[in-house]
Copies of this chain bind each other. A is one copy, B any other.
C-alpha cells in the first residue's frame, strides 16, 4: 500500500504544479479560475475510465473533487455581501453616526404583543430545560397544522424541525444532505448564504443567471443542461430575495418536474411567503419527498433577532438534519420556541399591508429616478440598476459615508450594476434615504 500511496503523491505534485501554472496564466489574462466546461470534460473522462477499469464512480468523482478544490485553492481567494455592509453600518452607528438602513431585510414592526406576554410567563411555565433536538413536540405539531392550512401541505410533526432561524436550516440542509463531491444549483440573483454554505462544505455551485430582461425567470434548458450525476440539489427562493419575483405557476411546475426527473433535492426557502402579492404556491404543495422548505418568524412576525424558524421535509430527511443540529446545538432555545409557538397564529396581515404600501412608494421613487427594475411580486425589496451601469460596490461604500446603507448587487451573484433597497422603514425615512442616493448617482 505504501508504494501506491507514494506513487499517487508524486502524480499529485505534478498535478499541483500544472494547476499553479494554469492559475498564473489565467490571472495574467484576467480569466475566472474555475473553468466549468473544462471540469465537465474531466468529469466525463473520469466516469468513462471508471467504467473501463470497473471502479466505483462515486469514490472517483469525490477524489476528482478533492483534486479540483485543491486546484481552486492554489489558484485564487474571495468576495463581498450585504451582511458585510450591515456590519460596517452597525460599527459606524456605534461610533455615533446615523445610518438609514436600506441594506437589511429587517422589518421595523414590533413583534406581536403575544410575544411580550409569552416572554413574561415562560419562566414560570418552566420551558428552559434540555429538549429534543427537533424542537418541542407541541410546537412542531402546531407548525405542521399551520403548514397544512397555509401552504397546502400534508404533513405532521415528524416532518417538522425547529431551527434557530431559517439560515441555520439552510446550513443544515446543504451541509448534511450534500457531500463535497456534489453540486448544487442556485438561481441568481440569490441570497448569498446558499452559495456560502455550499462553499463552506466544499460543494460545487452551478449558477443559473437570470436577467431583468427576462423578468428574472430562469431558463429551463439552462437548468437541465447543467445537471450531471453529481448534481444533488436545486435551491428555490420565491418570493425572491432580492428581486421580489414569484415564478409563474407553470414555470415552477416545470422546475419541480426537472428536479423530480433528476432525483434532486429541492431546498425551497420560503421565508417571504407572508409578503406575497401575486399568486404564490409553496413547494410543499407538490408533496415531493425530496423537498426541504425553510420558514422563519423573522420577517412575518418581525422577530429577526429572536432567531427562530423551522424546516418542513420528509421524516427521513428531518432525521438526518437532526443529527447535526444535536451535535451543534443540543436544542433550540426553549423560551424562544415557547414564545414563537404562542405567536404562530397571531394576525400579521397588517405587516403585509404596510410593506405593500412602502414597496408601491419605492417603485414610484425608483421610476422618477429612472432606475430599471421589475415590479416585485412580493418580499420586501426592489432590485434596481441605473440606466448607465455603475459599480454599486463602490456606491455602497460611498453611501455609508453619507448615512445610507444599501446592498450591493455583487453579494447576490454577478450583478455588480444592481443594488437592493429594503422597504423595511417608514415611508418618510425611505424617502430621506432615496434622496441621499439620488445625490450620488
A residues bordering B, Cβ < 8 Å?
1-2, 4-16, 18-19, 22, 41-42, 45-46, 49-50, 53, 55-56, 59-60, 63-64, 66-67, 70, 83, 86-87, 90, 94, 104, 106, 111, 115-116, 119-120, 122-124, 127-133, 137, 164-165, 167-168, 171, 193, 196-197, 200, 303-308, 324, 326-336, 339
Contacts and interface: CB of A to CB of B under 8 A. Distances in A.
B12 A335 contact: no
B59 A16 contact: yes
Given A5-B42, A11-B8, A59 B53 contact: no
Given A12-B59, A14-B4, A329 B200 contact: no
Given A9-B49, A13-B60, A119-B335, 17 more contacts: A1-B15, A2-B45, A5-B45, A12-B59, A12-B60, A12-B63, A59-B70, A66-B66, A106-B130, A111-B123, A111-B128, A119-B119, A171-B328, A305-B333, A307-B330, A307-B332, A335-B336
- For A131, A306, A339, the residue with the greatest tally of chain B CB atoms inside 10 Å of its CB is A306
A50 to B, nearest CB: 7
B8 A4 contact: no
Contacts of A9: 46, 49-50, 53, 55, 60, 63-64
Nearest to A46: B9
B5 A15 contact: yes
Contacts of A15: 1, 4-5, 8
B83 A46 contact: no
18 contacts: A1-B19, A5-B45, A8-B8, A8-B12, A8-B15, A9-B55, A11-B11, A12-B59, A16-B59, A83-B330, A111-B123, A129-B305, A164-B164, A164-B333, A193-B327, A306-B335, A307-B334, A335-B339
Given A59-B12, A70-B59, A306 B333 contact: yes
Contacts of A129: 106, 304-305
B11 A7 contact: yes
A307 B329 contact: yes
A97 to B, nearest CB: 16
Given A46-B9, A329-B165, A305 B131 contact: yes
A430 B146 CA distance: 42
A327 B46 contact: no
A94 B134 CA distance: 14
Nearest to A19: B1
Of all A-B residue pairs in the complex, the 6 with the closest CB atoms, nearest first, are A116-B123, A305-B334, A13-B55, A120-B120, A129-B305, A128-B305
Nearest to A73: B59
Contacts of A339: 335
Nearest to A171: B328
Nearest to A336: B333
Given A15-B4, A18-B1, A45-B2, A104 B86 contact: no
B12 A168 contact: no
Contacts of A328: 167-168, 171, 328
A333 B19 CA distance: 44
A96 B424 CA distance: 47
A133 B200 CA distance: 17
A132 B336 contact: no
Contacts of A90: 131-132
